[in-house]
Amino acid sequence: MHGQTKSGSIPARLSAIPDRWSAWVRPLWLLTFAFAVLADVAGAGYVLHDTYETNPVFEDLGLSDQIEYDGSVTLGAPVGDESARQGIKEGSRILAVEGRPVPAGIRVDALADIIRAAPGPVVRVRIQSPEGRVADYDLTRSPIHVRQEAARQPIPRDTRMAIRFLFSALGCVTLLACAVMLFIRRPRDPVAMLMSFAFLGMAATIDPPLLMWMAIGLTALNDVLSSAWWYLLVVALAAFPDGRFMPGWLRWIPLAALPLAVLVSLPGVNEGLQIVAGLLIPLALLLAMPLRYRRLEPGIERQQIKWAAFGFAAGLLLIGVAMILVAILPPDASPARSALNLVTVCIFSLGFALMPLGVMISLIRFRLWEADTVISRSAAYAIVTVIVGIVWAASTDLVKELVARMMGEENATVATTMSAMLAAGVFAPTQNVVLGWTRRHFGKDADKLRGLAARLAVWRNTETAAEMGMRALAIVAESVHADSAAILALTPTGRDLVAARDVEDPERLEEPGALDEDDPRFPLSLPLEDVDGPVGVLLIGPRSDGNRYNKDEREVLSIVTEPLAEAIRFANLRAAREDGMQKMIISAVEERLARLRIDPGPKPA
């Protein structure tokens, strides 16, 4: 699987997977895929079980449970008024229920069974606070705790679960789908297969399977799986997109990442160090992509790097935002905390959904040339969102203060409405400015085509149709990234070739029956027609990334067809006039010479 080596035995690239390796890689992939699917399904089932069967047991006593990463159970924020009034803190642990000791490290389902078996409407629970203080609490078993808590929550539990499952499913399904597509489309590509295995590992270790591994005490398995997909991802990023380790120092990544993969999974290691180690290498590889980008000629590989970098940058940005939200979660059981918890989980899942999309698009070469448009528009909307958010946040307190002074503090709703209106007023002009800037800087291909009409109006006065056609085809092919193109002009007897670019045996296009509507050589055929009627046809070959021409490209090309038809007709008419004038001059000269031969004139004296 290793290609030519440098510096001894260190491979310079990953070569295509040989047939003898495929014999065991394919079954291994199928087993991994089946495991990831089962983990996702089982994880979803466990989350439903935990939410609707286990959690209510604690909530009936005014408590909530939370599963720690080692599988142990601590108490979450109090539910209802009674437990909050008694001072039960988040992070506390249950030591006994009705005098029955609770074993250390008990799983949440077993603890729920103990609480469920406790008799009577009032249950005595011995609880140890995070500070180590132990106290007994008499907690009333009643559904009123849940009703009190539900009244405080802005989003009902069922709605929260539906939103959570939607985003979790989006993340897992996207990872699985990308893994399958890479496996089917690029089975011998080592980078694609490394990415495919890594995506399967991600799908088996994020929400919802993560909660299941924690609850059943298999966090060690989760650590091993996470380390495995992290290592595969790092090696794939180092060799992306064609298997070459470029710059050359990246060939050391497969060796250097091994101890780091072990480090990020070892229990007892500082979590901050593990997070830094886990993020630093992928981030460094992501930052190294521009180095590879600059060394490449404009073309497919550059676009592949753009898509991959965009996908990972967007995904890592969202995951980073989720981590920041975790750090700023309110310590109390406020409604804002519940909403932020939901937003955090959704952003985290969305980040994992975005990461594989860019890589998948780049490796299967789907819409590679749309990278600039997607990246620029995404960046533009992100900037607009940030600006509007800053305006709204900055204006809220100021407007509240002004409204309170002028209309009284009871009109807080008016202040919120005015802040929202101010933010909405900023949105439209900000959007126009930012999108206008991105169009000017990233819409150069379309601008070239739009500017072709003005150039044609000048060229037709001086250039032949063939010269003008070659110039036009050069601009068209570069703007829409076509592998080939040709222009044919209509004649009384058929068609004449005006110009061709990278077309094999272009003269054959003039022959009757040489073209049909389904000709794979030219998936796009645009009639050239002006006010006087048809002039010819513009034939566009396949896009260099193998995809269809999109709507924007077709619309811009349609703008060019009429000016091109007018220019070809004008150039042909001018050439015909000039040819006629030349023939007249030649005819006159020949006639004069003939007369001189017949009547040479008087002989000299």
Beta carbons within 8 Å of 425's beta carbon, 6+ residues apart: none
d(CA 566, CA 589): 34
Q: Are 523 and 560 a contacting pair, CB within 8 Å? A: no
Q: Which residues of 156-186 are buried (b: 16+ CB within 10 A; e: fewer)?
A: eeeebbeebbebbebbbebbbbbbebbbeeb
E strand or H helix at 73, and its extent? strand 73-75
Domains and CATH numbers, the chain: 56-152 (2.30.42.10), 156-366 (1.20.1070.10), 445-590 (3.30.450.40)
Q: Are 449 and 479 a contacting pair, CB within 8 Å? A: yes
Residue for token digits 């050391």?
Answer: 252
Question: Residue 71: phi, psi to the nearest 5?
Answer: 95, -10
d(CA 571, CA 304): 41
d(CA 242, CA 257): 20
Q: Are 487 and 568 a contacting pair, CB within 8 Å? A: yes
Q: Three-state SS for 486?
A: strand
If you count DSSP H runs as helices and E runs as strands, how many of each does the chain have, helices first? Answer: 18, 12
Instruction: Transcribe 506-536 into DSSP letters.
Output: GGGGGSTTS--TT-TT-SEEEEEEETTEEEE
Please name which of 356, 314, 306, 30 lies closest in space to residue 170, comparing C-alpha atoms. Answer: 356
Q: Are 207 and 349 a contacting pair, CB within 8 Å? A: yes
Beta carbons within 8 Å of 159's beta carbon, 6+ residues apart: none
Question: pTM of the full predicted structure?
Answer: 0.72
Q: N- to C-terminal Cα distance for the chain?
A: 100
E strand or H helix at 75, and its extent? strand 73-75
Cis peptide upstream of residue 247 (ω within 30 degrees of 0): yes
Tokens of residue 573, six digits:
């008419």
Instruction: Transcribe 103-147 into DSSP letters.
Output: PTT--HHHHHHHHHH--SSEEEEEEE-TTS-EEEEEEE--THHHH
- Where does residue 480 rank: exposed (0-12), middle (13-18), buried (19+ CB within 10 A)? buried
Alpha-carbon 581 to chain mean position? 62
Q: Are 545 and 369 a contacting pair, CB within 8 Å? A: yes
Please name which of 224, 223, 220, 203 lies closest in space to residue 42, comparing C-alpha atoms. Answer: 203
pLDDT along the chain (605 residues), means of 10: 54 84 91 97 95 92 90 89 88 93 92 92 93 93 86 83 92 93 89 93 94 91 93 90 82 88 79 73 79 69 77 82 75 67 88 85 69 61 60 60 61 58 61 56 64 85 89 86 88 87 86 77 88 90 80 82 90 81 80 72 58
Helix 335-364 vs helix 190-203: crossing angle, to nearest 10 = 160
Q: Are 12 and 5 a contacting pair, CB within 8 Å? A: yes
Give the gyration radius of the chain's Cα atoms.
35
Beta carbons within 8 Å of 250's beta carbon, 6+ residues apart: 238, 239, 285, 288
